[in-house]
Amino acid sequence: MKTECIGDYVKLKGKVYPCTISLAMDLIGGKWKAVILYHLKDAEKRYSELRKEVPNVTEMTLSLQLKQLEKDGLVWRKVYGKKPPIKVVYSLTDFGKTFIPVLETITSWGNQIVLEKGEFVNNSFYNVSGIQ
């Protein structure tokens, strides 16, 4: 039996996973979820602030990823006001904050890779829309 599982499978909110890694990756996996969480780790942000900080994500993808992160309990969406223009801010939930040490580890690892095998470049060096 796998040490990360007490049983053969794990279950969260009615969904069954083969292991805890699969469960965790369902919550934070994909190209943008961890990036969004990273940008929310220090302070709450409005949607427009997130768009500026993550310029390569499409509006539809950002919106969908935020909804999924909210549904999974990692992000909290707070609406101020009852009619337009309203203010909406996103922040990490207490559960989302438990992911911060993992984000910091991933950030350090990414920095190490760049220092050893790549280079940091200035925004003006590349057209931001061309960076993957």
Q: What are phi and psi of 3, to 5 degrees?
A: -70, -25
Q: Which of the four pLDDT bands, split at 50, 70 and 90, describes residue 4?
A: low
Per the DSSP assignment, residues forming a β-bridge with 17 are: 10
Q: At what angle do helices 33-40 and 59-71 cross, to 10 degrees?
A: 80
pLDDT tens-digit readout, 111-124 = 999 999 999 988 66
The answer on 126 and 88 residing in a single domain is: yes
44/102 same-domain check: yes
- For 43-65, write each residue's pLDDT tens digit: 999 999 999 999 999 999 999 99
What pLDDT score does 1 carry? Answer: 47
Quick one: 71 and 85 in the same domain?
Answer: yes
Say yes or no: 109 and 77 in one domain.
Answer: yes
What's the count of helices (H) and strands (E) in the chain, helices before strands? 6, 5
User: What DSSP character marks residue 35?
Assistant: H
Q: What mean pLDDT comes out for the span 34-45?
A: 97
Same domain? For 6 and 38 the reply is: no
- Let me know whether 37 and 70 are in one domain: yes
Average pLDDT over residues 70-98: 94
Residue type, 90: Y
What would the DSSP string read from start to end of 58-111?
-HHHHHHHHHHHHHTTSEEEEEE-SSSS-EEEEEE-HHHHTTHHHHHHHHHHHH
